[in-house]
Amino acid sequence: MEALLQALGALTGSWAIPAAFLGVLWGILGGALPGISPSIAMAILLPMTYGMQPVTAMVLLASVYVGAEYGGSIPAILIRTPGTNSAAATTVDGYEMARQGRAGEALGISLVAGLVGGLFGLVVLVTATRPLANVALSFTPMAYFALGILGISVIASLSGGSLLKGLLAALLGLMLAMVGSDPVSGVSRFTFDQPELLGGIKPLLVMVGLFAVSEMLVQVSEPPWARADARNTRLKLPDGPMMKRLARPTAIGCAIGTFEGVTPGAGGTVAAFMSYSEARRWSKKPEEFGQGSPEGVAAPESANNVVTATALVPLLSLGIPGSNSAAVLLGGFLVHGLQPGPMLFEKAPQVVYGLYAGLLVANLAMLLIGLVILTPCIWLVNRPKPWLIAFILALVVSGVYSVHQSLFEVGLVLRIGALGYVLRLAGVPMLPMVLGVVLGFMIESNYRRSLLLSGGDHSIFITDRVSLGLLLAAAALAIYSTWQEIRRPRRRRAALEEQTT
């Protein structure tokens, strides 16, 4: 009851409800633009939350995440170009339905399945986060150090397909995190006589540069996306018999989305494709998949919307983001002086409970806005691509400058964006680098504190049972990922031999 009262107080005592509607609106519009992922849509708004109340800022960013997942299905269905990575599975049957003149039906199924998935994920978030945070309250500095190492290991091994590239990205992130003042002695380091770097490189700048600026540079070199046809696209919500048919694939999407969401590094894309595959396996009409099956739209859309909430479980309880979008939300917490993790429930419970209530409002707002947003989205997708890229870059530059009125930070963001563009060309994943920047302070400070407690004896990381278990898990994950990389070429050769024979 106390938590409910705090949630209602946070909503009514701030601009959280209007922020939820605005966030969903911006998220749908951003998700409808191919290549503009939820994390990019969130990163663009991140600097603009600097002067907001913490609850309002968190609800705004989380609502963008919710809206973008539905928005990504709009171009996926209309022009066979997913607006977000997690909407890629929706293109298979969604576009086939559009070709059959059933685009409005497919969009309605996507909206309802997304609403069900979002509400289910919110229930999981509310019920699972606090117990996990209570367990983490007993962590020692050694355990927090090991937890940071495990978090980076998980993301590095799962997010890019190559463990070496993932670890390289994490190392670059840790290097950026060491710029500024030493957390123990206060001595400046790696500042190159630049006073603006004495406070370190803010995670906000890294996220905006890596996610938003680098993506715009990538989009410049990509051909224009197809134009959407406004005909036969009037939204049609599923009726009773259709809802009954969609119950099983939606439930499958919710179950898989929950598991994948709480697993750092998996994310909505993996959940969507796994849900599509399992929905086809358990369907009474599997032959319709790939030919315009409504079940093939409901399963992936419910899964990737579940992830919008369940990906926040490791973030709020342990301080480790499970996806790019959760990492941007973590940046929002840091901007307002809040450190996600078990102590967040003790220091700022009103922010956590306000976020829960804001997510509920955001999912309901998605249904309301989704009913009227289709025409503006089609108009937006059909604008010339150079205009949209220029507009987004203008938002990025003005947003970064508005934080501290610093041209140095604007230049730093553009340089980081150029670095991100080069890393993208090399196939290096972005999330491990962002996580390295975010967790760098936690890893280094707890490492130093542990050595102060032990008098410089590194065996303290082994004698602490929780620390030992987490470090062993990180080592096991690295060994397993390395073994999988060694076996991958052999599997490819075996598959080629089978095809030739």
User: What residues are paired with 449 via a beta bridge?
Assistant: none
As a whole number of Å, the CA-based R_g of the chain is 22
Q: What is the pLDDT of residue 29?
A: 85
- Could you report the per-residue pLDDT of 368-424, keeping only the tens digit for each? 888 887 777 777 766 777 887 888 788 788 878 877 778 888 889 899 989 989 988
Token pair 């790696």 is found at 190
Beta bridge partners of 189: 180
138-149 pLDDT, tens digit each: 778 888 888 888
Which DSSP state fits 47?
A: G
Contact partners, residue 490, CB within 8 Å, separation at least 6:
none
Rounded to an integer, the average pLDDT of 98-112 is 85
Q: Are 181 and 199 in contact (CB under 8 A)?
A: yes
Across 159-163, 221-225, 472-476, the highest mean pLDDT is recorded for: 472-476
pLDDT class for 225, splitting at 50, 70, 90? low
Report residue 362's pLDDT band, with 50, 70 and 90 as the boundaries.
very high
Residue found by looking up tokens 């490819």 in the block: 492
Residue-wise pLDDT for 146-165, tens only, equals: 888 887 777 666 555 577 78
